[in-house]
Amino acid sequence: KLAASDLGFALGPRLNAAGRLDDMSVGVALLLCDNIGEARVLANELDALNQTRKEIEQGMQVEALTLCEKLERSRDTLPGGLAMYHPEWHQGVVGILASRIKERFHRPVIAFAPAGDGTLKGSGRSIQGLHMRDALERLDTLYPGMMLKFGGHAMAAGLSLEEDKFELFQQRFGELVTEWLDPSLLQGEVVSDGPLSAAEMTMEVAQLLRDAGPWGQMFPEPLFDGHFRLLQQRLVGERHLKVMVEPVGGGPLLDGIAFNVDTALWPDNGVREVQLAYKLDINEFRGNRSLQIIIDNIWPI
């Protein structure tokens, strides 16, 4: 049975991959196609593009984390707002990269890639408390000509600038964010709907939550928390942590998965108990349905 999450996390990224790496008309052609054979060919092409996008993104993340480490060493702490650039980054993936780094360090991020003719294109992602477009507009007022153009909204923006203006922009953006943003907002916050009892960890409750969707902006899917015994843990797909857990206070054994974990920290066979922030979900595979949890945050105890 198709769920909203399938559109957001399976179909959406594949359709977007065409526009990010190649030609978005491939995705449009698939949506308009009424021949199953042709549709499968187009779907396979999109899937291959999405796999390439993942590989590019993974390499860019490694490079971005290295840049963050260098920044932190040179300043003793990361600036309130991060602007980063690498000459080999891909224009179509900098938005995803900015989002990943924002989630990792809990601060506004703008990632840049070469755009030809000595210019850079950047994509920014913000956090609650800083309106990204307003910040860029203020920078444009204070330093006219530093940016060639910009646009966006509160949580995301795009811009372009000349390559030789990047270091100036990096400095001024960091300064402005530090001035505008309450430092407490840089710590990150996990807002939970509380723990589930053992009696609530059921397929029936998971189905009710699924049927209550679609969830989204300003209407987030319920996020629960709890203390669990960590019985099994292993990596799947290189960056995802597959676990089996059991509530410390008693309850069912649960399969769970945490996406895009820090592989320098997980798996850790020395960890026996964890605190989790998670979503209750139904896993559907080859016609079988089972209860699982999608782990947003995992902390060793």
- The reported pLDDT for the residue numbered 3 is 78
At 140, which helix (H) or strand (E)?
A: helix 132-142
Q: List every span in the chain annotated with CATH 3.10.310.30.
A: 78-187
Contact 243, 230 (CB under 8 A): yes
- The pTM of this model reads 0.83
Residue 71 has pLDDT above 80, yes or no: yes
Q: List every span in the chain annotated with CATH 2.40.50.460.
A: 198-300
For residue range 95-115, list pLDDT tens digits in order.
Answer: 999 999 999 999 999 999 999
Average pLDDT of every residue of the chain: 94
Pick the CATH number of 78-187 from 3.90.740.10, 3.40.50.720, 3.40.50.150, 3.10.310.30: 3.10.310.30
- The reported pLDDT for the residue numbered 287 is 84
What is the distance between the alpha carbons of residues 225 and 228, in angstroms, rounded to a whole number? 10
- The reported pLDDT for the residue numbered 159 is 98
- The reported pLDDT for the residue numbered 217 is 79
Instruction: Calculate what percentage of the chain has a pLDDT beyond 70.
Output: 100
Structure letter (DSSP) for residue 216: B
Instruction: Calculate what percentage of the chain has a pLDDT beyond 90.
Output: 83
For residue range 130-146, list pLDDT tens digits in order.
Answer: 999 999 999 999 999 99
pLDDT tier at 92 (50, 70, 90 boundaries)?
very high
pLDDT tier at 197 (50, 70, 90 boundaries)?
very high
Structure letter (DSSP) for residue 196: P
Largest CA distance in the chain: 62
Contact 21, 51 (CB under 8 A): no
CATH class of 198-300: mainly beta
Q: Long-range contact list for 163-167, CB < 8 A, 24+ apart? A: 163/114, 163/118, 163/119, 163/120, 164/118, 166/83, 166/85, 166/112, 166/120
What is the distance between the alpha carbons of residues 164 and 161, in angstroms, rounded to a whole number? 8
- Which has more pLDDT, 215 or 162? 162
